[in-house]
Amino acid sequence: MPSPDDRISLIERSLRCFAYGCLSLIPLVGLGFAILAVRTHLKVWADGGKEWNPARVYLHMGFSLAWLGGLVSLTTLGLFMFILLRSYDF
């Protein structure tokens, strides 16, 4: 049986994962936050497992937003490189 402090920590880390996921939607800068969100999600999932977590929805949303934010950042980077390379006439 986990202690109340462990449960509080689990909830706080779930909410932190959601915040990182939201920040990951910022193009290019958000790539670091996407990595943090995925890492936090995996850590909470490993520590909490089937534990009661009222912030589980935020944990899953943070994970999903992190993948979306990573995709946005990589797409932005790809478009930037495409435009940059296209401007040069080889």
Residue ranges of domains in the chain = 4-87
Q: Judge contact between 59 and 17, C-beta under 8 A.
A: yes
Q: Report the C-alpha gap between 84 and 80 in whole angstroms.
A: 6
Residue by residue, pLDDT tens for the chain (90 residues) are 778 898 999 999 999 999 999 999 999 999 999 999 999 999 999 988 778 889 999 999 999 999 999 999 999 999 999 999 988 866
Threshold 0.85, pTM exceeds: yes
Query: So what's the pLDDT on residue 25?
Result: 96
Instruction: Compute the radius of gyration of the chain from its Cα atoms.
Output: 17
What local confidence, expressed as pLDDT, does residue 3 receive? 86
* Confidence at residue 20, expressed as pLDDT on a 0 to 100 scale: 98
